[in-house]
Amino acid sequence: MTPKKFAYFAPASLKEAIQLLRVNEDAKVLAGGQSLIALMKLRLAAPAALVDITKTGDLLSYIREGKGHLEVGALTTHDTLERSKIINKKFPILSDAASKIGDQQIRNRGTIGGSCCHADPAADLPTALTALESEFVVRGVKGKRVIPQSKFFVDTFTTSIAKDEILTEIQIPHTPPKSGSAYIKHSRREGDFAIVGVGAVVTVGPKKVCRDVRVSLGAVASTPIRAKSAERHLKGKTLDEGNIAEAAERANEEADPPSDMHGSRQYRLDMIKVFARRALNLALSRAR
Amino acid sequence: MRLHKKGLSTLTKLVREEPALWMGHPLKRKEDRRLLTGLGKFVDDIKLPGMAYAAILRSPYAHARILGIDVSKAERLEGVVCTLVGEEVAKLTDPFLQISSPPANKLKDYCLAVGKVHFAGEPVAAVVAETRSTAEDALELIDAEYEAVDHVLDAKEALKPGAPVIHEEVGSNVVFRGKWDYGDINAAMKQADKVVKKTLHFHRFSSTPIENNAVLAQYDKATGFLNVYSNNQMPMFCIPWVSFALKFPSNRIRMVTGDVGGGFGTKIISYPYIVLISLLAMRSGRPVKWIETRTEHLSAANHGNERMFEVEIPVKNDGTILGLKVKAWDDCGAYTRYEPAGATIWAQVTPGCYRFKNFQMEFLQVMTSKCPVGPNRGYSRMQHLWMIERSVDIVARELGLDPTEVRLKNFIRPEEMPYVTPSGGVYDGGNYPESLSRVLKLIDYWRWRKEQVEERKKGRLIGIGISTILDSGTNNFGQVKITNPENPFSGNSEGARISIDGLGGIQVALGTSPQGQGHETFASQVVADEFGVSPDQVTVLMGFDSAVNPYSHQSGAYASRCAVMGTGALLGAAKKVKEKAAKIAAHVLKADPESIEFKEGHAVDRDSGRKIPLWQIGNIAWVNNVLLPEGMEPGLVAIHFWRPDFGLPDEKWRLNQTLTYSYQSHAAVIEMDPETGKFKILKYAIVDDCGKQINPMIVEGQVHGAAAHGIGAAMYENFEYDEDGQLKSSTLVDYLVPTALEVPDLVTESMETPSLFAPKGIKGVGEGGGTPISAIANAVEDALTPYGVEISDSHQNPQRIYELIVKKRKKM
């Protein structure tokens, strides 16, 4: 199929892009287009206008050090994330997630900002960013504001970005030394949407005690969520197989998963436990 | 004239090392250069002057009455050329031919739904517009009103009294009911030490050709011709369906195909679309193009037959299988567009590779409110062979024997070839025990068996699955007389034309309408050997054009028939051309025509060693014909139609349903993750035997493709409907085709047991019989031995496996 008729704008600056979003009814930001165009082709989405932000001249593809956090430009592709040395070293959870998205062609064009704004609860990067307690920098007419992760994802396909705002950067707070992170997902094929996606960040204290832990879940609620009960259970305890397994048993308490042909609600609830345990163990093995 | 000699020798030099015979040589495919450089000619590459585009409105309901379809708003949209709805189709066309026997043949099938829709996705209206987007926009302006009625999604449910009837004119949902009974199954039951019983289910999936269906139709008012450019894979077989429905004379329908991005059977039943687009072309007075979308293809083109089995297998404690008693329910979806052919085609391979003589099959084919089925790589045999191969493993498990032992005990022996099966099939040679032992060696079976025991102690679940399956090819259309003796089809035939022009150029045209299998390459190899030239000197016309290519109404790419049937036709045409060329050469050389041989582009007199080049023979035949022998007709061209020796079914429905019986042994080693039900393939080995190979590289490609397709079916591809009759896997997000990451490295080996009946000893190849589906099912059950889980479904969905494990764990 072909999309419905739409207007296409390729503004020369972010400022102009924001203006276009303001004045055009039902306009959508186009980044890599790997979700939006597919939906438009099936006519499941039919925006009146697309505002392409890849030609603004404002460089939105970067990975750089900020103050106490790493800054990732919204137009950074999945492929760049997957291959970035700094990401692989500091936040392997993100390269794990990026490497499992779709196929190479999709990873070449798909962007971290696009994935977050699309807000598919089964998407990989939003789940990974949830475990990292990332912050989202958006720009609008009135300037810049920073949205914490907990306020960013509102519902399935819905974020708290206003109609005339553009996500420009994602800020990932640095983890303390002796931290490790991992993202793994259960899917039918390598690059499919997650049946269950789990992100884990662990910080090891003296005597292998869990100083901090964050577990995030994808594809099991209307947004990525945190498995708080599992986190509470593990925090302060020795990071051994038994405690991790016990915590993982609690990982599905906050989940409210849907059913589809690849996984029923019950199957997903069960798989959360398995993958939470595996993600925690992997994250722990990377903690240095 | 020297120029031409030079031309020929340059061409010959292109091939560095010429083998003694081109047959058997892994020649690179002639088609690949254009396909790999984007120069292929597909339907969507054709643009005719004034061409418009069609889009199709489809039913959102699985079963509903059509209360009204209002196209007025759509027709007012700027750029819309015309519309068409079912009511109009019922006036303009006749219902499609049906090959069932009464009452199922009363079914009324049109290219757009008339009165009622019978599955979600069924076409109900069409729009022609200046652009494809406008046509799709217009679909949204059509007001179609429905009244949903009860639907039925399960074959057994569809048989119950009071079940919704899909086609009232038929009176019930039954398409075909038949009983095959050979030997004495009751006596076998009495002799048995044990009767193994099992209920099995073969799931719905299909092929996913890279190119979907496509039709471009043009009605030429000047000549009265209907020109149809499509990718149908039996373009001349479907002429009666098209001609009768349109009430349009067959001798003015021109069917053209070009490059085709795969068919695998799914493009055989595209005739409703050919009729629909033709109607639109006639109505609009414009050439009309329609390119199917992937969602349309997945939800409404052609699914494979879904089948349920109740199996009883009488066995001896030593593993001897005494017979097979089966009840089968075949779910053919909402229409019978090639069915009930599938209700008999399984009987090409009634006993699989096994010797048992006692066999009973009660077969029921039933309609449901789902997408119609049709041929799909391994059509109907795949379901049957999966049931047999699964049963053999179940027998082994229940008797505590190794599955390879049970196979070896029951295989038909090589010395029994040609082997006549209980249903009259005549297996044309093969060595099944050797095939199995070779694949066991390839995969290192006994080492894995040891490793399996060791790994189990460490909590790792390794599973090993074996399957040996027949890949029957070149069907005898007489098989459809079983379901309806009135069907005017039997045997099989194919046409070829070979010409040597006045400059010595050899041109070949076939009726086989290739779908990407490399017909230009294999035909070049066969013809090159006949004339002692290189394949580069043989030009084979691409695609098919009924105004150009010779054809029979059985021409086409289906039933793994093209190498066998094409070669038969090519050899016949070559013989005719050579006989005439030899006479001309003998006349010039003053030699005996009997002593003329064709070598290195020349006709050579064996006795004197004197020779003349082919171009000179062509020159005499076409433009220098005063030099012809007295009384000889000018020209150097021959058409030959070839048919194998086939019969009709006897009163017990015994007949040889195919000419060749290739076979493959597959072995899979998997590792199961019992926590998730997901597994991965650790090693995969295949031994195939398709008789003498024309081009081993093409054969290997076919073996790989069929294996990938079977792995897809076993692990990923599944057409699942929800309660409302909506297809859940209607896009490639949910219909999971395996990618390069999912298909493991395949270790392959070939055997070459020549066919006892086919030309040059070749056998059809390419369908593969769905072997991985049973090899993997067997491996999964094997891996789960510690849990005692039984696998009764052909599709290994991780969730279902997990649930089976959980159920067993609870009991432990």
What secondary structure does DSSP assign to chain A, as a single string?
--PPP-EEE--SSHHHHHHHHHHSTTEEEESS-TTHHHHHHTTS---SEEEEGGGSSS----EEE-SSEEEEETT-BHHHHHH-HHHHHH-HHHHHHHHTSS-HHHHHH-BHHHHHHHT-TT-HHHHHHHHTT-EEEEEETTEEEEEEHHHHEEETTEES--TT-EEEEEEEEPPPSSEEEEEEEE-SSTTSPPSEEEEEEEEE-GGGBEEEEEEEEESSSSS-EE-HHHHHHHTTSB-SHHHHHHHHHTTTTT-----BTTB-HHHHHHHHHHHHHHHHHHHHHH--
Q: Are B531 and B578 in contact (CB under 8 A)?
A: yes
Rounded to an integer, the average pLDDT of A68-88 is: 97
CA distance A248 to A228: 11
Q: Residue B20 — very low, low, confident or very high, per pLDDT cuts 50/70/90?
A: confident
Q: Residue B483 — very low, low, confident or very high, per pLDDT cuts 50/70/90?
A: very high
Percentage of chain B exceeding pLDDT 90: 97
Residue B741 to residue A193, Cβ atoms within 8 A: no
Q: Which residue of B has its CA nearest to A268?
A: B799
Confirm or reject contact between A271 and chain B (CB < 8 A). Answer: yes
**Predicted-complex ipTM score:** 0.96
Specify the pLDDT at position B688.
Answer: 98
Residue B12 has pLDDT above 90, yes or no: no
Which chain A positions have a beta carbon within 8 Å of B742's beta carbon? 189-190
Q: Residue B18 — very low, low, confident or very high, per pLDDT cuts 50/70/90?
A: low
The domain spanning residue A273 has which CATH number?
Answer: 3.30.390.50
Q: Which residue of A has its CA nearest to B712?
A: A189
Which chain B positions have a beta carbon within 8 Å of A5's beta carbon? 133, 137
Confirm or reject contact between A55 and chain B (CB < 8 A). Answer: no
Residue B297 has pLDDT above 90, yes or no: yes
Considering the domain architecture, whether residues A84 and A108 belong to the same structural domain is answered as yes
For an interface test with A, the pick among B58, B293, B676 (most A C-beta atoms closer than 10 Å) comes out as: B676
Q: Are B680 and B741 in contact (CB under 8 A)?
A: no
CA distance B485 to B691: 33
The pLDDT tens digits for B763-795 are 999 998 899 999 999 999 999 999 999 999 999
Confirm or reject contact between A90 and chain B (CB < 8 A). Answer: no
Confirm or reject contact between A241 and chain B (CB < 8 A). Answer: no
Residue B295 to residue A1, Cβ atoms within 8 A: yes
The pLDDT tens digits for B673-729 are 999 999 999 999 999 999 999 999 999 999 999 999 999 999 999 999 999 999 999
Rounded to an integer, the average pLDDT of B576-596 is: 97
Instruction: List the structure tokens of B133.
Output: 């987007």
Residue B587: helix, strand or coil by DSSP? helix
Nearest-neighbour CA in chain A from B546: distance (Å): 31
Q: Which residue of A has its CA nearest to B803?
A: A267
Specify the pLDDT at position B8.
Answer: 43
- Asked if the structure places residue A279 within a domain, the reply is yes
| Mean pLDDT estimate for chain B | 96
The pLDDT tens digits for A118-176 are 999 999 999 999 999 999 999 999 999 999 999 999 999 999 999 999 999 999 999 99
Confirm or reject contact between A288 and chain B (CB < 8 A). Answer: no
Residue A225: helix, strand or coil by DSSP? strand
Q: Are A32 and A80 in contact (CB under 8 A)?
A: no
Final residue of a structural domain among A152, A173, A194: A173
State the number of CA atoms in the 13 A half-sphere of A100 facing the CB: 30
Report angle CA A76, A78, A80 to the nearest 5 degrees: 65
Specify the pLDDT at position B15.
Answer: 44
- Asked if the structure places residue A58 within a domain, the reply is no
How many angstroms separate the first and last alpha carbons of chain A?
50
Residue B2 has pLDDT above 80, yes or no: no
Q: Residue B299 — very low, low, confident or very high, per pLDDT cuts 50/70/90?
A: very high
Q: Residue B4 — very low, low, confident or very high, per pLDDT cuts 50/70/90?
A: very low
| Mean pLDDT estimate for chain A | 97
User: In chain A, what are the helix, strand and coil shares in percent, each to the nearest 5?
Assistant: 35, 25, 35
Residue B6 has pLDDT above 80, yes or no: no
Considering the domain architecture, whether residues A145 and A93 belong to the same structural domain is answered as yes
Considering the domain architecture, whether residues A72 and A154 belong to the same structural domain is answered as yes
Instruction: List the structure tokens of B242.
Output: 């098209």
- Asked if the structure places residue A73 within a domain, the reply is yes
- Asked if the structure places residue A83 within a domain, the reply is yes
Considering the domain architecture, whether residues A91 and A107 belong to the same structural domain is answered as yes
CA distance B206 to B267: 11
Residue B731 to residue A42, Cβ atoms within 8 A: yes
Residue B799 to residue A186, Cβ atoms within 8 A: no
Nearest-neighbour CA in chain A from B137: distance (Å): 7
Residue B742 to residue A190, Cβ atoms within 8 A: yes
Considering the domain architecture, whether residues A167 and A184 belong to the same structural domain is answered as no
Q: Which positions ≥6 away from A104 have C-beta within 8 Å? A: A79
Q: Which residue of A has its CA nearest to B292?
A: A1
Residue type, position B21, single letter: L
Residue A267 to residue B802, Cβ atoms within 8 A: yes
Confirm or reject contact between A43 and chain B (CB < 8 A). Answer: yes
- Asked if the structure places residue A188 within a domain, the reply is yes
Residue B739 to residue A186, Cβ atoms within 8 A: no
* Helix (H) / strand (E) containing A231: helix A228-234
Which chain B positions have a beta carbon within 8 Å of A3's beta carbon? 133
The domain spanning residue A136 has which CATH number?
Answer: 3.30.465.10
Specify the pLDDT at position B812.
Answer: 74
Nearest-neighbour CA in chain B from A269: distance (Å): 12
Residue A2 to residue B733, Cβ atoms within 8 A: no
- If one counts every other C-beta atom within 10 angstroms of the C-beta of residue A43, the result is 15
Name which of B570, B572, B560, B550 is nearest B22 in CA terms.
B570
Confirm or reject contact between A42 and chain B (CB < 8 A). Answer: yes
- Asked if the structure places residue A75 within a domain, the reply is yes
Residue B804: helix, strand or coil by DSSP? helix
Q: Are A11 and A56 in contact (CB under 8 A)?
A: yes
Rounded to an integer, the average pLDDT of B747-752 is: 97
Q: Are B702 and B766 in contact (CB under 8 A)?
A: yes
Nearest-neighbour CA in chain B from A187: distance (Å): 9
Confirm or reject contact between A105 and chain B (CB < 8 A). Answer: no
Residue B754 has pLDDT above 80, yes or no: yes
Considering the domain architecture, whether residues A280 and A183 belong to the same structural domain is answered as yes
Q: Which structural domain range is residue A278 located in?
A: 179-286
Which chain A positions have a beta carbon within 8 Å of B802's beta carbon? 267, 270
CA distance B407 to B394: 12
Q: Which positions ≥6 away from B527 have C-beta within 8 Å? A: B498, B506, B508, B535, B538, B540, B570, B574
Residue A267 to residue B741, Cβ atoms within 8 A: no
Report angle CA B654, B659, B662 to the nearest 5 degrees: 110
Residue A261 to residue B731, Cβ atoms within 8 A: no
Phi, psi of A48 (to 5 degrees): -75, -30
Residue B519 has pLDDT above 90, yes or no: yes
The string over B542-580, giving b where at least 16 C-beta atoms fall within 10 Å of a residue's C-beta and e elsewhere, is: bbbbbeebbbbbbbbbbbbbbbbbbbbbbbbbbebbbeb
Residues 188-217 (A) with a CB less than 8 A from some CB of B: 188-193
Rounded to an integer, the average pLDDT of B5-33 is: 70
Phi, psi of B586 (to 5 degrees): -60, -35
Residue B802 to residue A270, Cβ atoms within 8 A: yes
Instruction: List the structure tokens of B746.
Output: 């395949």
Residue type, position A22, single letter: R
Residue B484: helix, strand or coil by DSSP? coil
- Asked if the structure places residue A191 within a domain, the reply is yes
Residue A203's Cβ-count burial label (10 Å; 0-12, 13-18, 19+) is buried
Considering the domain architecture, whether residues A100 and A188 belong to the same structural domain is answered as no
Rounded to an integer, the average pLDDT of B148-174 is: 97
Instruction: List the structure tokens of B334.
Output: 């909402």
Rounded to an integer, the average pLDDT of B46-59 is: 98
Residue carrying the six token digits 């897809």:
B712
The domain spanning residue A32 has which CATH number?
Answer: 3.30.43.10
Q: Which residue of B has its CA nearest to A186?
A: B676
Considering only CB atoms, A192 lies closest to which of B133, B137, B736, namely: B736
For an interface test with A, the pick among B734, B799, B810 (most A C-beta atoms closer than 10 Å) comes out as: B799
Specify the pLDDT at position B17.
Answer: 57
- Asked if the structure places residue A87 within a domain, the reply is yes
Name which of B133, B114, B69 is nearest B276 in CA terms.
B114
Rounded to an integer, the average pLDDT of B379-408 is: 98
Final residue of a structural domain among A148, A173, A198: A173
Q: Residue B3 — very low, low, confident or very high, per pLDDT cuts 50/70/90?
A: very low
Domains and CATH numbers, chain B: 2-30+493-642 (3.30.365.10), 44-149+213-291 (3.90.1170.50), 306-478+648-811 (3.30.365.10)
- If one counts every other C-beta atom within 10 angstroms of the C-beta of residue B649, the result is 22
Report how many domains make up chain A. 3
Considering only CB atoms, B716 lies closest to which of A1, A189, A263, namely: A189
Residue B14 has pLDDT above 70, yes or no: no
Considering the domain architecture, whether residues A168 and A240 belong to the same structural domain is answered as no
Ordered strands of the A225-226 beta sheet: A179-186, A196-204, A210-218, A225-226
Quote the strand ranges of B119-173, DSSP E.
Answer: 123-129, 143-148
Report angle CA A241, A246, A251 to the nearest 5 degrees: 120
Which chain B positions have a beta carbon within 8 Å of A186's beta carbon? 676, 678
Considering the domain architecture, whether residues A126 and A39 belong to the same structural domain is answered as no
Q: Which residue of B has its CA nearest to A192?
A: B733
Q: Which residue of B has its CA nearest to A3?
A: B133
Considering the domain architecture, whether residues A80 and A163 belong to the same structural domain is answered as yes
Largest CA distance in chain B: 93
Residue A261 to residue B728, Cβ atoms within 8 A: yes
Confirm or reject contact between A103 and chain B (CB < 8 A). Answer: yes
Residue type, position B569, single letter: A
Residue B216: helix, strand or coil by DSSP? strand
Considering the domain architecture, whether residues A194 and A168 belong to the same structural domain is answered as no
Q: Which residue of B has its CA nearest to A260?
A: B728
Q: Which residue of B has its CA nearest to A6?
A: B133
Specify the pLDDT at position B16.
Answer: 47
CA distance A30 to A15: 15
Final residue of a structural domain among A173, A203, A229: A173
Which chain B positions have a beta carbon within 8 Å of A261's beta carbon? 718, 720, 728-729, 734
Rounded to an integer, the average pLDDT of A170-189 is: 97
CA distance B162 to B646: 43
Residues 168-187 (A) with a CB less than 8 A from some CB of B: 186
Considering the domain architecture, whether residues A129 and A67 belong to the same structural domain is answered as yes
Percentage of chain B exceeding pLDDT 70: 98
Q: Which residue of A has its CA nearest to B797?
A: A262
The pLDDT tens digits for B60-84 are 999 999 999 999 999 999 999 999 9
Q: Which positions ≥6 away from B538 have C-beta within 8 Å? A: B506, B507, B508, B523, B524, B527, B528, B531
